[in-house]
Structure 1
Amino acid sequence: MATHTALPDTSTGTKYLILDGLACALLGARLPWSVKAHDAITVIEGRGKCTVIGWNEVYLAAALLNSTFLQGFEIDDVHVEAPIHTCSVVLPAVLAAAEQEHSTTPISGNAFLTAMVAGYETGPRVGHALGGSHMLTIGWHSVPVFGPAASVAAVSKILSLSAAEIENALGIACTQACGLMSAQFESMVKRMQHGFASRSGVLAIYLAKQGVTGIQDVFDSSSGGFLKTFSHGADSEPKFFPEEVCKGLGEVWHTEKTRQKPYPLMAGSHCTVDCVRDLQAKYPARMRKWKKMVKIEAEMARAAMKKGGWTPEKPANVTGAQMCVPYAVVLQVVDWEVVPAQFAPGKLNREELWKVMEMIECREVKEFDHSWAQRVRITFEDGEILETMLKAPRGVHPGLSNEEVLEKWRAVTKGVISQKRQRKIEETVLNLEAVEDVAAVLGELLRGETANVLQ
């Protein structure tokens, strides 16, 4: 995977992953938690060469901030097997490195794509080595654990580091890995945890480039090694799988297993929403009468239950609502859709939502473990029961088509940036191979200010 020509035909798909990530970052740049993060970080971090998306500024901390923006509304991509939102970690890191190196080594579109794929291939492999979604069941937030290595892999391609330097960078980045899943309930910092991973990789690369040594054999070490330490508490046997880190290199392409999300919700609730949508499509008249419902049961795998099956308390905040399966259910039941506008301050705690919330019961079903499958059962006051089971949500199997991703890009950025800027970014990304200097072209387009459409 040393050169762009050594890659399989993933360029088109990777460009749509980038476009989707930029939509998420532009939308997230001016959200309240993003503004707070920006205002805090720019006080303590100096100006630099790297674009802060949507702020018309350049700062050293761009990777951290842009990752925070990209993950800021829970609508960024996800790997279907090992739960990592790779774009939120890799794209900000690669963009920052490309701009940092721009004055001496302009980064071409092909080089940019190669770096992106390197990150997309690394993060999920680290995730598989730790048991994938099992990490969520023992309290780790998987992305800031899996992500630092992905950031290193991507940025190492931009700087053309040697194998020894890359190993040092991995050892430096992986010792910074961390992320607690309790961040999902009410904290703003949940939005930033992917950014910590992105920044860790960039920092590790530049430290290694200057000769700073890192932990050698960081994944394999039997005393405080990455895999052994993070898998502590796992109830599987074996607890970790070191062979997964390099398994299928050059043959299995994890970039192709990454999916764009149709809903601004944590991925584990997408199938729940689609089960409700399925019932609404089959029984529209009955499902319109949601006030006649008395019980809603949602069944899911252990990982989804642990991450999102909890009962929210009033008042809900945006982070908690987006991470909560019951909240996803009530939005689809009452509004027949799940879109960003529903999370605006005036709509988040409507009384009708909380009335439906009282009916919902989530539970773990062992037969669904290690799958996306879910079942929803709705009981009405006259005793009628409607039930459906789906093996996977829309956007996972199959993934969104390129046309659907393009529609999402246009819908998400509508009102956030001008139509002219929207078209120019779209054209640039979808023709990235023709770009000779990504930092010069893309940085300028992303730097302009954005609007907060959720005010």
Structure 2
Amino acid sequence: MSEKQTMSRRLSEFAVSLKYEDIPSEVMEHLKNVMLDGYGCGLFGSTTPWMKIYKDVLTARTDRKEASIWGTRDKTSVTAAMMINGSAINSFELDDTHTDGIIHVSTGVLGCVTSFAEMLESVSGKEFLVAAALAYEISCRVAAPIGMELAHQGFNNTGTTCVFGSTAGVGRLLGLNAEQMQHAMGISGNWASGLQAVQFASMAKRIVPSKSSEGAIVGALLAKEGFTGIEDVFENEFGGFYHCFTDRVYNEERTCGELGDRWELMGIGLKFYSTCRSKHTTIDGLRKFRAEHPEIRPEDIKKIVVHTTSITRKYSVDADDIKSVVSAQLSHPYVCAVTLMEGNAFIDQFTEDKIKDPKILEFARKVEVVDDPEIENLPRALRYTVKIDIHLNDGRVFNLEVNYPKGHPKNPFTKEELLWKFKTLGFKAIQDDKKLDKIAEALFNLEEVKNVRSFVELLRKE
């Protein structure tokens, strides 16, 4: 009887054997949409003040010019570029989310595989797309069974899980064999890290989710030279990934089963608002209410009660604790207030001046966020469900319920909405509509590109 394969071995054999032709067309289309969204978020992020600090600090410590910093004319080392570009994607709460895994996948992997492919100089569009598909898919598979457990334990979901996907992508670009890939994962898993407490106020929130993918580059390069890692990195009972981070909660078949037939990356949704994903169903509900009841003004509202899951409540900042743009983006009360007062919760609603507006903060104090046991017990696919009670001064109460936020796979963007978001964000860094159109067109036809460096060049300022 043959010995049972470890989880990392099963994933590694899939990673080294996948062909471009094996990826279903609908999966490739969704992947490209998610990637375009990620590049748009990254271009916008390159213009934020916190990313300037991060870029200046990292680039001052290397003279290498291996990979581009998107939205700029600069190049730096591949590891610095990976960390800067990945963090830029996460820099304004605009990046994608895998529902069950609770991870921002582009933040975790796109900066890494793009920067590494650029450094290698001779990667074709098809080769890059296969590597990207592996990075996204394996990240989602590692995270999917344990999203809620990781979050409740206080770990950063993206930072702890996406290192494995990035390793698969980088390892594929390097041409690792299955044994080398397995060791690469066993090395890079030691970079799995991140604390949920970083969510609530600090600039560090922007950089944590992508930092661990540095381990993907180091691990893959070491494994190519024969360096060995933990062969059972996921299931080892003393300090293996799932035992360490989730107290032995995992589902091997959700992570490793039906490889190539079931695509977990299809569960990635895009964001329509500049806030934590768990607020989006609330925003959708309030925007619909505002449109249907234009006669009801914010001052007519006595209070709002939002019923949600315990983890969503934990992810909310009270109105009186809003100290930064980050904390406003994590604040359910602020998001409710700005949506009802301004009709949206996009980039213009999260500025240093706006988050200090006394009228917005006064309204935010009317909002209460509560655990709802009924919502808590729904299937994880419905974890964004909210019930909203809007109490008016005249005694009337409106009850709303929303299950899937705009951009969720069950409530997806139209192609027009995708391009609108990409160009709106991208224009902050590259003020050239025609060039932004070229980026989108090139990505949608990336399999025809002989060298992916020509695509990456479009992400740079001229």
Per the shorter chain, which TM-score range?
over 0.9
- Over the aligned positions, Cα root-mean-square deviation in angstroms equals 1.6
Query: 1:92·1:198 contact (CA, 8 Å) conserved in 2?
Result: no
| Contact 1:112–1:438 (CA under 8 A) maintained in structure 2 | yes
Preserved contact between residue 83 and residue 124 of structure 1 (Cα < 8 Å) = no
Counterpart of 1:422 in structure 2 is 436
TM-score normalised by the chain length of structure 2: 0.91
- Return the alpha-carbon distance in structure 1 between the equivalents of residues 258 and 334 of structure 2: 39
- Whether 1:115 aligns to 2:131 is yes
> What SS class does the counterpart of residue 147 from structure 1 fall into?
helix
Unaligned runs of 5+ in 2: 1-13
TM norm structure 1: 0.92
Residue identity in the other structure for 1:341: D
Q: Quick one: distance in 2 between partners of 1:239 and 1:430?
A: 38
1:406 maps to 2:413: no
Q: 2:299 aligns with which of 283, 291, 299?
A: 291
Q: Give the equivalent residue in structure 2 for 1:235.
A: none
Name the CA distance, whole Å, in 1 between partners of 2:29 and 2:367: 41
Cα distance in 1, alignment partners of residues 71 and 141 from structure 2: 32
Q: Determine the structure 2 residue equivalent to 1:344.
A: 351
Q: How does 1:304-383 map to 2 (within 5 A)?
A: 304-308=312-316, 310-369=317-376, 370=380, 371=382, 372-383=384-395
Q: 2:65 aligns with which of 48, 53, 56?
A: 48
The separation in 2 between residues aligned to 1:443 and 1:50, in whole angstroms, is 9
Q: Give me the whole-angstrom Cα distance separating, in 2, the residues matched to 1:256 and 1:300.
A: 25
How far has the Cα of 1:247 moved from its partner?
Answer: 2.2
Q: AA paired with 2:338?
A: L
Matches within 5 A, 1:13-412: 13-60=30-77, 61-102=80-121, 106-129=122-145, 131-232=146-247, 239-286=249-296, 289-308=297-316, 310-369=317-376, 370=380, 371=382, 372-396=384-408, 397-412=410-425
| Deviations, residues 155-185 of structure 1 (Å, cap 9, x unaligned) | 1221121111111111111111111110011
CA contact (8 A) 1:83 1:142 kept: yes
| Deviation sequence 1:122-142 (CA, Å, 0-9, x none) | 11111124x222321221111
**Letter in structure 1 aligned against 2:143:** G
C-alpha separation in 2, matches of 1:302 and 1:239: 19
Counterpart of 2:5 in structure 1 is: none
Q: Distance in 1 between matches of 2:184 and 2:62?
A: 22
Whichever residue aligns with residue 323 of structure 2, its letter is A
Structure 1: segments with no counterpart, 5+ residues: 233-237, 450-455
SS of 2:60 mapped into structure 1: helix
Residues 93-139 of structure 1: CA deviation (Å, up to 9, x unaligned): 1111111211xxx111111111111111111111124x222321221
Structure 1 partner of 2:4: none
AA aligned to 1:24 is: C
For 2:195, give the aligned amino acid.
Answer: L
The residue type equivalent to 2:160 in the other structure is V
Q: Which residue of 1 aligns with 2:456?
A: 443
1:392-422 deviation digits (Å, cap 9, x = unpaired)? 2111122212332112112222343122321
Local SS of the residue matching 1:375: strand
Q: Tell me the amino acid that sits aligned with residue 125 of structure 2.
A: G
Once residues 421 and 67 of structure 2 are traced to their aligned partners in structure 1, the CA distance between those partners, rounded to angstroms, is 27
Give distance in 2, aligned partners of 1:376 and 1:152: 42
Equivalent residue number for residue 22 of structure 2: 6
**Matches of 1:381 and 1:340 in 2, distance apart?**
31
User: In 1, Cα distance between the equivalents of 2:419 and 2:73?
Assistant: 25
Percent identity, aligned pairs only, is 28
Runs of 4 or more above 3 Å deviation: none
How many Å separate the matches in 1 of 2:268 and 2:386? 20
After alignment, is 153-162 or 141-150 more displaced? 153-162
Instruction: Output one character per residue of 1:39-83: Cα deviation in whole Å (capped at 9) or x when no partner.
Output: 111122332311111221111111011001111111011112211
CA distance in 2, matches of 1:95, 1:415: 21
Confirm or deny: 8 A CA contact 1:326 1:357 kept in the other structure.
Answer: yes
Q: Deviations over 1:198-240 (max 9, x none)?
A: 32212221122222211111001011111001013xxxxx733
The CA deviation at 1:388 is 0.4
CA contact (8 A) 2:180 2:223 kept: yes
